[in-house]
Amino acid sequence: MKLVFCSSAVIRNKKNQILVMSRKNKKTFRNCWEFPGGKLSNFEDYFEALIRELKEELGIDIAKNKLKDYIFTRHQYRAFLLMMYTFEVKHWSGQIKNKDNETLRWVSKKELKNIKLLPANIKIINQLLKKV
């Protein structure tokens, strides 16, 4: 079984809303929502991958020392086993921009329960909502 290692971010704004991204332009799980992030590249750790992904996808910078709280998720998809760390991000520099040509949406705690998220993201919702 192939292993895939990813980092993702729960980005909260001052209203305590959480940023999610669409997957309308992706081949798999089209029309689902996910937290920003992506796969680790060669020799990256989870922190470095998230910092790179947020810069590429959203145009924002985050400091590694601000990434303290995380949720670990393991999810078996058909073709691979996903190992993902999801970090909470409350502080960043730069203006969030849609650089991936996907839809960005700020959602409340209530809305988060009712949108169609990727299966691995669903696993972290209960843990995440305890912190909201």
Domain map (residue ranges) of the chain: 2-131
CATH superfamily placement of domain 2-131:
Nucleoside Triphosphate Pyrophosphohydrolase (3.90.79.10)
Neighbouring CB atoms inside 10 A of 93's CB total: 8
- How many CA atoms lie less than 13 Å away from 35 in the CB half-sphere? 28
For residue range 56-82, list pLDDT tens digits in order: 999 999 987 877 778 899 999 988 999
Question: Whole-model pTM?
Answer: 0.88
With a CB cutoff of 8 Å and minimum separation 6, the contacts of 130 are none
Q: Which amino acid is at 27?
A: K
Kindly state the average pLDDT of the residues 75-90: 92
Is-contact 131 88, C-beta < 8 A? Answer: yes
pLDDT mean across residues, the chain:
87
b/e per residue, 48-64, with b = 16+ CB within 10 A? ebbbbbbeebbebebee
Q: How far apart are CA 131 and CA 2, in angstroms?
A: 32
Q: Chain-centre distance of CA 42, in angstroms?
A: 20
